[in-house]
Chains A and B, each alone.
Chain A
Amino acid sequence: MNLLRRKFLKTATYVGATASAIGTGVLVPQRVLGAYNAAAFDAKDVNGAISGSMGSDQHTASDAIKLKAPDIAENGAVVPVTVSSSMSNVEAISIVASANPSPLTSSYQLSSACEAFVSTRIKMVKTSNVVAVLKADGKLYSATKEVKVTIGGCGG
C-alpha cells in the first residue's frame, strides 16, 4: 500500500510541475493528491469548515447554486446530496453539515474540465443545515438547505 501512496505522489509531482510550467494552474486541480486537508476536517464549526477548506469563511448566498437534498432524510446515515451550478470557473466545492461533530463532510477540487457538479451521500447526525460552498474566480458562493433527520418508529 506504500507503493500506491508513492504512485500518487509521483502523479502529484508531475501534475504540480505541469501547473507551474503553465503558470495559471487552470488545467489541473489546485490541490494535488497527497495533501489531505486534515485541519479543515478537524474544524468544529461551520465557519471553520469553510475557511479550512476554501481559505475564507466569507461567502454570498447564490441562486445559481442548486443544492438537492431531501426535506426529511429517510436515514441520517445515508443522505443523498447533489450540488450543481450554472456558474463558470468553479474550482472547488465543499459540502458542510452544520450539526455534525466535524461539519466538513467533503471538499472537491475541480479542474477546468469539470462541470460544477458533485453528488454523494453523507451522514447527518441530526436535523441541521447542509451548506454547499462553491469557489469561483476566487470568490465564495453558497446555498443552504435544512434537512430533517428523524428517529424512526421501527425501521430507523
Chain B
Amino acid sequence: MASIKIRAKAKGGVTTVKTLMSHPMETGLRKDSKTGKKIPANHITEVSAEHNGNVVMTANWGGAISKNPYLSFKFKGAAAGDKIKITWVDNMGKGDSAEAAIK
C-alpha cells in the first residue's frame, strides 16, 4: 500500500498539488514512555515532486514536520491528465514513491 496520497488539480494554468504521507516523523528527542529510552530519529529527509520527468520542487525536511506529514505546492506548465510523481526518502534509508494524474 502506498504511503503517499496525492491530489493535484489544474485551474487557470496553475496546478495545486496536495500530498499526505504516512510516516512517524520521529524527531529522535522523544522518550518511550515505557522504556524511558529515546526513540531514534526516524523522519523523512527529502521529498521531490516530478512532472513529466522534470523535478519541479524538492523539500528538505527535519523532524519538526508533523507526523503523517502534509505538503502542498503550486506550479505552472501542467495540464489535466499529466502525471505528478511524489517521492520521499527518510534518514533510515527507506523511501516510497507514488504517481497521480492531475485533474
Contact = CB atoms under 8 A, between A and B. Distances in A.
Check whether chain A touches chain B (CB < 8 angstroms): yes
Given A33-B46, A119-B71, A120-B65, A108 B58 contact: yes
Nearest to A94: B60
Contacts, number: 138
Interface stretch (B1-9, B32-40, B93-101): B93-101
A4 B64 contact: no
A40 B63 CA distance: 13
B interface, over-half SS: strand
Given A1-B94, A113-B75, A118-B72, A107 B59 contact: yes
Contacts of B45: 36
Contact of B54 (A4, A28, A33, A78): A28
A interface, over-half SS: mixed
Interface residues of A, number: 46
A107 B93 contact: no
B64 A122 contact: yes
Contacts of A120: 65-66, 69-72
Interface of B: 14, 27, 29, 45-46, 48, 50-51, 54-67, 69-77, 87, 89, 93-97
A62 interface: no
B64 to A, nearest CB: 4
A31 B94 CA distance: 21
B95 A4 contact: yes
A109 B96 CA distance: 20
B90 to A, nearest CB: 9
A101 B61 CA distance: 15
Contacts of A2: 93
A139 interface: no
Interface of A: 1-2, 4-5, 8, 11, 15, 27-29, 31-34, 36-37, 40-41, 53, 77-79, 82, 97, 100-102, 104-111, 113-115, 117-124
A15 B94 CA distance: 22
A74 to B, nearest CB: 12
Given A77-B67, A102-B64, A120-B70, A114 B56 contact: yes
Chain A CB within 10 Å, residue with most, of B48, B65, B66:
B66
Contact of A123 (B14, B65, B87): B65
A37 B60 contact: yes
A122 B65 contact: yes
Contacts of B72: 82, 117-120
